Chain A
């Protein structure tokens, strides 16, 4: 059940990523929704689930867009594992720590991803500091919002149902 939920989340993220990246985001600030899902799953489910989610999501993402399958998967595997470690070792329940984790995860992902490409001589990224920083901030904001939504949404729904029931009576 949990695995199915993760698969659905990754699929939705990929779908949004492939559509929103063309429509909504045209600047250097290109969010990675798949990465957000991976970090979220890792923080909530632990390192093993995090790294497997990262592997699966990264490989799928590579298969869709990358000339070399595995680089994105490797980067997301590392990020998912470390985020899972952090989530299991530290209390990451507040928006700020979550923001830091998402931000750091994005930076680490960029370092591994770009670093491997540069190392293998497959691609050059110039000086991507601003782009990476913007993406990290955007991912962090989306991640924190996602956490808040997921955590607050069930309670809000319950409260809404309870309020409707009182009005009918």
Chain B
């Protein structure tokens, strides 16, 4: 009971005090001339407004940061995906550019050649290392036949050995069973270039008295009825005496068979006259 009375007295005391404060504030001006009640009221409410504004700004900032962070994360992942796609596209474009450059060379060569040719892509290699062959994406449907010459901008590649409808097997010149009539471009010395199974060619049947030195360019002679005359086979790497009537000549092929991708297939067989001329030369 007594505590209840004291509690009521406390409330009454506080209420009366506040009333006095308001009463005094209503009469007293601050230094700026504004009534203290107005100044205090404004000050209190401005602080409330400031607190509310700060709270709202804080919440808005936190929320904005959270949303922005989520957005940034999503955007980051999207950008990573785009970057990966762009890198892949760049590689594709680079590959396409390389392929285009190769095709341009082929096209230049094709335009310069008086022969009818068709371009083909290499789509496969030999199944066993004992055979140096490749598979191209053109076949009998495109007019390919056995023993048609296959060339590249750098030089002779090989010949068609097994044409199918839509593809063909090409025996590379470096294969052990491959051969082509050839001559030394500078001295016109003739011989036969054969494959050795590795990355080098051998030129046989070159007379011991022929003028052949390292560095000479070896081209097709056209006498074999397969390869048109004048195509570069390679360059003489070494010339040795073999103890017989012929020299032992090693040739470095002009074509890099490990990196070749596009080729031209010569559809027109070399004319017999060329062969005759080639052999005569």
Q: Using CB atoms and an 8 Å cutoff, list the residues of chain A in contact with chain B.
A: 46-48, 51-52, 55, 68-71, 73-74, 77-78, 81, 84-85, 88, 116, 120-122
Please tell me if B95 contacts chain A, counting CB pairs below 8 Å: no
Please tell me if B84 contacts chain A, counting CB pairs below 8 Å: no
A89–B192 Cα distance when bound, in Å, is 134
Q: Are B28 and A120 in contact (CB under 8 A)?
A: yes
**Residues of chain B lying within 8 A (CB to CB) of residue A81:** 9, 13
Q: Are A73 and B20 in contact (CB under 8 A)?
A: yes
Of the candidates B12, B24, B27, the one whose C-beta lies within 8 Å of that of A48 is B12
Of residues 147 through 193 on chain B, the ones whose CB sits less than 8 Å from some CB of chain A are none
**Assuming the A-B contacts A68-B27, A116-B24, A122-B28, are A47 and B9 also in contact, with contact meaning beta carbons closer than 8 angstroms in the complex?**
yes
A109–B195 Cα distance when bound, in Å, is 125
- Name the residue among B9, B17, B20, B23 with the largest chain A CB count within 10 angstroms: B20
- Name the residue among A68, A70, A77, A88 with the largest chain B CB count within 10 angstroms: A70
Please tell me if B258 contacts chain A, counting CB pairs below 8 Å: no
Of residues 1 through 50 on chain B, the ones whose CB sits less than 8 Å from some CB of chain A are 2, 5-6, 8-9, 12-13, 16-17, 20-21, 23-24, 27-28, 31, 36
A85–B2 Cα distance when bound, in Å, is 11
**Residues of chain B lying within 8 A (CB to CB) of residue A74:** 17, 20-21, 24
Nearest first, the 3 A-B pairs at minimum CB distance are A70-B23, A74-B20, A70-B24
**Residues of chain B lying within 8 A (CB to CB) of residue A51:** 9, 12-13, 16
Q: Are A46 and B21 in contact (CB under 8 A)?
A: no
**Residues of chain A lying within 8 A (CB to CB) of residue B12:** 48, 51-52
Q: Are A84 and B27 in contact (CB under 8 A)?
A: no
- Name the CB-closest residue of A to B6: A47
Q: Are A48 and B9 in contact (CB under 8 A)?
A: yes
CB distance from A118 to the nearest CB of B (A): 13
- Name the residue among A78, A85, A88, A120 with the largest chain B CB count within 10 angstroms: A120
Q: Are A46 and B20 in contact (CB under 8 A)?
A: no
Q: Are A70 and B27 in contact (CB under 8 A)?
A: yes
- Name the CB-closest residue of A to B36: A120
A69–B13 Cα distance when bound, in Å, is 18
**Residues of chain A lying within 8 A (CB to CB) of residue B16:** 51-52, 55, 77
**Residues of chain B lying within 8 A (CB to CB) of residue A88:** 2, 6
**Residues of chain B lying within 8 A (CB to CB) of residue A121:** 31
Q: Are A48 and B28 in contact (CB under 8 A)?
A: no
Q: Are A69 and B9 in contact (CB under 8 A)?
A: no
CB distance from B2 to the nearest CB of A (A): 8
A112–B5 Cα distance when bound, in Å, is 26
- Name the CB-closest residue of B to A50: B9
Of the candidates B6, B13, B28, the one whose C-beta lies within 8 Å of that of A77 is B13
A66–B31 Cα distance when bound, in Å, is 20
6 pairs of residues in contact across A and B, judged by CB atoms under 8 Å? A46-B5, A47-B13, A48-B8, A68-B28, A69-B24, A77-B16
**Residues of chain B lying within 8 A (CB to CB) of residue A73:** 20, 23
**Residues of chain B lying within 8 A (CB to CB) of residue A71:** 24
- Name the CB-closest residue of B to A72: B20
Further contacts, 15 of them, CB under 8 A, given A51-B12, A74-B24: A46-B5, A46-B9, A48-B5, A52-B16, A69-B24, A70-B20, A70-B23, A77-B16, A77-B20, A78-B17, A81-B13, A85-B6, A85-B9, A120-B28, A120-B36
A116–B31 Cα distance when bound, in Å, is 15
**Residues of chain A lying within 8 A (CB to CB) of residue B13:** 47, 51, 77, 81
Of residues 50 through 97 on chain B, the ones whose CB sits less than 8 Å from some CB of chain A are none
CB distance from A66 to the nearest CB of B (A): 10
A41–B13 Cα distance when bound, in Å, is 16
- Name the CB-closest residue of A to B21: A74
- Name the CB-closest residue of B to A67: B27
A134–B17 Cα distance when bound, in Å, is 28
A46–B31 Cα distance when bound, in Å, is 40
CB distance from B141 to the nearest CB of A (A): 109
**Residues of chain A lying within 8 A (CB to CB) of residue B23:** 69-70, 73
**Residues of chain B lying within 8 A (CB to CB) of residue A77:** 13, 16-17, 20
**Residues of chain B lying within 8 A (CB to CB) of residue A84:** 9
